[in-house]
Every structure is written in structure tokens, then in C-alpha cells.
Structure 1
């Protein structure tokens, strides 16, 4: 995406050191609450999570947060900002976070009924694109231009961190020299050199991060240190997923899909007939894998990602993400929630 959502929304509309981040959001005059609208579930939605069998949450444009107890009927929640929201993550049915443009971070402690603003930085004009919490206290939020924030207190305070190991190999010697000679300029330069971080994927004790220019990195200590993997593709990657048979699938621009059977040490490209950008990959309990993308692209694999069959949608509307609920797919698209019956050919 030149981050996931910048590029996705453009497609939709047109077709280590740390420093403390002050979240004095009460003093920011630009904060305006999201409007409550009658058809929010038909607006551009960017992410969805199945928190439990009885609780679903989706987020999207203009600060929209939608809640459902069955995956069919959705209710808009009151949100204190109008920034586009790009990702949501709940650790349980009560505690969740959402992130988005203006580096906004929102938190709920009552199952999404009310939301509090933990960070809002409109002057930076940089979006956060994903968020993950391993428990109610420890979380990571990442985004465009190398944005990386971490919290150890449930988001009451967020620290921005920069990691030289996430820079391209060609830039490291220059950055190390600069780190010694001028630490202040070093931080600014590192921030400008780091790629866009598009998506987090957590696999047991390992955190993966994917981004632009074939960027993939992994951490075994919840983001304290990182190992950048060797690039195998020069385009943006937008999602990563562990398949039911324990392979890794990475998806990205122009219909590119890559599969690894050795935890990312080597990758094989999976050829697709379609060339639409792929935004997300997810699977169900039965071993089926789904790819969702622009132009209504929806693909299904029954052989662990080696081959895919078409379930693409005739309306051509971009699909940003999805979850499986029973025999249905709940998709978030540029025109809102879409529910597909998996027992039928769509």
C-alpha cells in the first residue's frame, strides 16, 4: 500500500531507541467526534475482528466503529474522532484498541460501547495501519513511514521506537556513522528511511511485520529487537498468514502471492490468473485459505495455498479483510459489510 490503506483507499476511490509520545489529547482543538449515521455499515470499512462467536467489531472511514452480536446486525458506536480507522484488535470481549490516520489510537474497556482517545497527532499526517496486544497491558501499533509505537500499560502511555535493524542493508553503514556523529539527525534520517509497516502477524511467540518493498521482519521478544528477512520481492506486502499446514503465505501488490515452507527463509511465488492487489489472507477451521483484494477479488484454496479458485464478486468492490463465521464469510469492503454463504457458489 505505500501503506496498506493509503494505496487501498486510492484504489477504492479511483477504481533501537525510544522517545515518549505525549498523548495530551484534551488540548487538541482538531478533535471532533465521529458522526452517527444511519447506514454506517454501508460505508468504507477497513478491518473486522471476530472476537468471539457472539461479538464482532469492524472499523472504517470517518471514525466509524461497528459492533455486532451475530455478524448480521450492526450498530455504530460513539467515537471521539473522525479520522479513518484502519485496524482493530480486542484481547477479550471488553478490552480493545483501534488505530488509524493522524496516528490515532483509541481504546475501549466496555466492549466497544465507549471509546477513549489515547493518541491523536494530526500535525504529523501519518497513519497507523495495524495494532496488536498480547494482553491488556502490552501492545504494538505500526504504520506508514516506519511508525512504531509500544505500550506496557494498556495504552496510558505510548513510546515511539526506531530500529536500525529494520533499515535496508545498503543504508545501515551510513546510519551507523550518523548515529555516532549526530544522534539527533540520525533519528530523523532513520525515520525517513524506514519502510511503511503495513501489517502485524503474531505466530506463537514470534511477531512478524510486513511492509513496502518486500519488507518482512520478525521478533521473538515482542518487538524489543528485530531481524529483517532477506527481500524476495520489490513490491509492497500487505498481509502474512500461517496456513493450516504450517506454511507462511505473504500477499501484496498486483496479485502477488508467496509461500514459504521454512519460516520465511525461502519463498516460492504462487501464480494467479488475477493481478488485483491483495489486501488480506485468512483461513477457517476446515483448512480453507481465503485471499481478499481489490476489484472484488476473493480466492479460496483447499490445498494449503498451492492453488486457488475464484469466488470473486461481480460488483468489483474492493474487499479489505474478512473473517469466517460458521458457513459464512463476513467481509469488510468499500461499500460496507458483505456476508457470503460458503455453501453456495457466489
Structure 2
């Protein structure tokens, strides 16, 4: 059997190839090991807080932070699972998610972290997380993982939304629910696509994932509406450039633009076929980061992009603007790129 791996969520392929053995005893979480070269190891996500602090997460539970983008310190983290995403609601309160369905929380701007969830028995990674305030958050991941908290992460509840399946799959599940509850539970844990990324604008959520999956919620994920697929490959990020003007990116350099809130999409041609991992916006300029060191820039609202190679040609997973630079998180750790807007 052959599997195609995306850099940011390579764990999904490993899970497919090496499923958890029956009778597996769930291990206890182990704290991340302090590493001198943590800032030079694989990093997967980064945010900049309102007080100008940077926080980045990556492999083996590494979380690092910096107040100047140059000197980095490693935080105390209660798990050594690979971490995939980080989100801060303000200068103090943040959350990170990753493998083993792990969720960790910081109340001091990323300097220390506490465990909120660790569920290796699920054998699925969480891939993204958003909060709308210090209490209400959503975490999503592989095979339709979706957890909600309404108390700042003191408790997380798993949710399944069958409206995120096509009609035939919904009918199949509803029939199973009555006829074979045990099989229904098994199917429910495997039938959903991977949920890769969330974009939040107040209570409006856009979610993209595997095989062209795209859904919208107007009430912070309480209810969802599946959208018609405009691409049948995996999508790894989506962003609102304005209320009607959205951009989605994914496998093999695919870029899609809508100017009518998703009613219609046009494909934007990119000179590179490298998978695109993230969308970064700075004022009216759009940047894309991707595999093979892909770094693309648009000054016309995403209608066209110029591409270059950065980070020594290694995968760039995400980035944030910082002072006069762009801080990249890559396979080689932190990289700094001059932020030069196109003419």
C-alpha cells in the first residue's frame, strides 16, 4: 500500500502504516527533554503575541520562546509528543496541540506549560487549535478528531458532526447506529477525513482538510455546512483576505481564490509544484510557505505569485512577520528572512 505524506502531518502516514497493536497499554506522558539545539530542530508552528514575544512549537514536545527573535529559550513542557500547532488568545494564555491527541496550556506567555489532554490510545494527532476567548476553544485533527472546551481547557469533549460527511455516508452511519452500535462506533472513528486547518474570524470558522474537504461554521463550530469541493487533493490552509476574498492552498503548489465567499473558485498558477503549508498576510501582501523551501509572494490580492527558494531548500511550515523580518519555522528550526515587499 502506498501513502503520500504531507510534511506538516507526516504522522498521519505513519499511523496508517503502523497501527496501534491490540492490547496496547497507554503510556504515561513524559516531559520534553531540554535540548541545547531546540531552536535548530524541526519546528511546525509559530505565533507572535501582542507584547512582541514569539512562541514556536515542534518535534518531541519542544516549545521555545523569544522576546527579540534572536535569543530563544526552551519552555518546560509536560509531554514529548511532536507538537503541530500553537494558538494564543492574548499575551498570557495559549494552547498547543500535537500527537497523542495532546493539548498543553500556558498561562504565562509560553514560559511554562501544563497538560490538559494526553490520549495516545486514540492513535491520532491533533493538527490545529483556535480559541475565541480564554474559555471557548476547538482542536481538530486526523480522521475527524474534534474536541471542544468551554472552560479554558480544564475539560475537553469529543464531538462528531455527521453534517461534515456527504449524504451517502450520513445515511450509512444513521443506519448503522440503529442496527449495529458497535460497528457504528468503529466507523465513526475512521470515516471522517483529516481536518488540517482552522481559520477564525469571530464566530465564523473555515475548516479545510483531506481530499478537498472544506466546511464553514457561523457559530464557532456548533453547526457546520459542507461546501462543494473545488479541488480533490488535500488542502492545508485557508485565509480570509477580506470578507468575500478568500485563499486556499494545498498539495503540489495548488492555490485557489474566491471573491464571492466561496461560491466560486479560480485556480491560481504557481511556478512551483511544492506543497504549500501556510498562508501569511502582512497588510496587503500575501506570503505562502511550503516544502522544498518554497516562499511565494503576492502584491495583487493573490491573483499572481512570485516564488523563490529559502531555508536552504528545506520545508517551511509556517512564518510570522517580526519587526523588519519574517521569522520562519522549518525543518532546520528558526530561520530569519528579510521582509521585503514586492515593488
* Structure 2: distance between partners of 1:131 and 1:327: 28
Quote the Cα distance in structure 2 between the aligned partners of 1:2 and 1:266.
Answer: 28
1:3 and 1:212 in contact (8 A); partners too? no
8 Å contact kept, 1:272–1:308: yes
Residues 21-60 of structure 1: matches in 2 within 5 Å? Answer: 29-60=27-58
2:22 aligns with: none
Pick one of 52, 67, 77 that aligns with 2:75. 77
Q: Determine helix, strand or coil for the equivalent of 2:36.
A: coil
Q: Where do residues 165-244 of structure 1 align in structure 2 (5 Å cutoff)?
A: 165-243=163-241
C-alpha change, 1:340 and 1:168, in structure 2 (3 Å) is same
**Relative contact order, CA 8 A, sep 6+: which one is greater?**
1
Question: TM-score, normalized by length of structure 2?
Answer: 0.91
Gaps of 5+ in 2: 15-24
In structure 2, C-alpha distance between the alignment counterparts of 1:199 and 1:166, rounded to whole Å: 15
Aligned match of 2:254: 256
Q: Distance in 1 between matches of 2:335 and 2:6?
A: 24
Report the alpha carbon displacement of residue 4 of structure 1 after superposing the two structures with TM. 6.6
* Alignment partners' CA distance in 2, 1:2 and 1:144: 13
- Residue in structure 1 matched with residue 297 of structure 2 by the alignment: 300
Distance in 2, Cα, partners of 1:141 & 1:331? 23
Distance in 1 (alpha carbons) for counterparts of 2:40 and 2:158: 35
CA drift of 1:244 comes to: 5.0
Answer with 248-257 or 319-328: which moved more: 319-328
Shift in CA distance, 177/8, structure 1 to aligned 2, threshold 3 Å: closer
Q: How many residues matched?
A: 329
RMSD (CA atoms) = 2.2
Give 3-state SS (helix, strand or coil) of 1:52's partner.
Answer: coil
C-alpha distance in 2, partners of 1:48/1:109? 17
Q: Is the 8 A contact 2:194 2:210 kept in 1?
A: yes
Q: TM-score, normalised by structure 1?
A: 0.90
Q: Is the 8 A contact 1:103 1:119 kept in 2?
A: yes
> Given the alignment of the two structures, is residue 320 of structure 1 paired with residue 317 of structure 2, yes or no?
yes
Look up the SS of the partner of 1:145 in the other structure: helix
Say if 1:107 and 1:117, in contact at 8 Å, map to a contact too.
Answer: yes
Deviations 1:38-81 (Å, cap 9, x if unpaired)?
Answer: 11110000000011252110000010001111222211101111
CA distance in 2, matches of 1:244, 1:324: 19
Is this contact kept in 2: 1:77–1:112, CA < 8 A? yes
For structure 1, the 5+ residue unaligned runs are 12-26
**SS of alignment partner, residue 293 of structure 2:** coil
Displacement, 1:29? 4.7
**Match in the other structure for 1:6:** 9
Partner residue, 2:21: none
TM-superposed CA distance for 1:313, in Å, is 1.5
Distance in 1, Cα, partners of 2:291 & 2:13: 11
Indicate which of 308, 311, 325 corresponds to 1:311. 308
In the alignment, the residues of structure 1 paired with residue 156 and residue 242 of structure 2 have an alpha-carbon distance, to the nearest angstrom, of 34
Deviations 1:145-187 (Å, cap 9, x if unpaired)?
1100000011111000001101133312212222333444323
